[in-house]
Chain A
Amino acid sequence: MIKIEILGTGCAKCKRLYANAGQAVKDLKITADVIKVGDLDEIVNRGVMLTPALFINGELVAEGRVPCVEEIVALLKE
């Protein structure tokens, strides 16, 4: 199963990214775990300096910005 993680402390952008990731999963009709990671220590340990960050299957694919649904769909197809 695909694992999608949204790293961020819970501000508006993090919430938007979480919503966009959920929408992308819905659009693709796939099953995926969409997880919020809000723990600052873990965020730093993962090497993320700019939030929100998007990880797909453990790989950092976007940092410090909110990719739109279309972009996340494309990233998930890769």
Chain B
Amino acid sequence: MAETPTCSCGQNEPKRIIFPCAGQANTGQLTNLAAIQLTEEGYGSIACASLLAIGAEGLVRSAKDVDEVLVLDGCPMICARKIAEAQGVPVGQHLIVTELGITKGSSKNFTNDDIEKIVAACWKGEGRKKDTAKPGKKSGGGNDSGCGCGCGGTC
């Protein structure tokens, strides 16, 4: 990020709000970091999914007024998407980190490539192309503790 030239870009970008799930697992934490980078790059503004969950009027109104809401979920539990839907907020783009080839686990380690993978997917609009996973859908392999993410019960 440090070597990136100062942005002199215009702001014809649609107005967006980004809700990261910010879950405790590595993938949840990655949604937060990706949302921060996306905000810095001018993609949209990060907002708190927890605040949305309690139905904060101002945030719900803003989320309904913007051009697009981006939801970043760490795993197929899709908590953030469920929160948005529970508040009647339409989700324009939805990405699940485990579906981008990042494995959910107990380690909090991550690389900059992991963040880049998520951020690039958002800019490309990958979360708009296909229907996203249904709640509890398995992302493939691993121990299943009922959450469907293969974490073996650590999430």
Contacts and interface: CB of A to CB of B under 8 A. Distances in A.
B109 interface: no
Given A11-B6, A12-B7, A65 B41 contact: no
A62 B126 CA distance: 19
Q: Give the contact-size bracket for chain A.
A: 20 to 34
Contacts of A13: 7, 9, 13, 41-42
Interface of B is mostly: loop
Nearest to A43: B8
A14 B41 contact: no
Interface string B20-60: 00000000000000000000111100000000000000000
Contacts of A68: 123-125, 128
Contacts of A69: 124-126
A66 interface: yes
Task: Point out which of A19, A68, A69 has the most chain B C-beta atoms below 10 A from its C-beta.
Answer: A68
B9 A50 contact: yes
A40 to B, nearest CB: 9
A50 B12 contact: yes
A70 interface: yes
Given A16-B123, A19-B124, A66-B123, A52 B5 contact: no
B106 to A, nearest CB: 32
A11 B124 contact: no
Given A13-B7, A69-B126, 16 more contacts: A8-B9, A9-B5, A12-B7, A13-B13, A16-B120, A49-B10, A50-B9, A50-B10, A50-B11, A63-B10, A64-B12, A64-B13, A65-B10, A66-B43, A68-B124, A70-B125
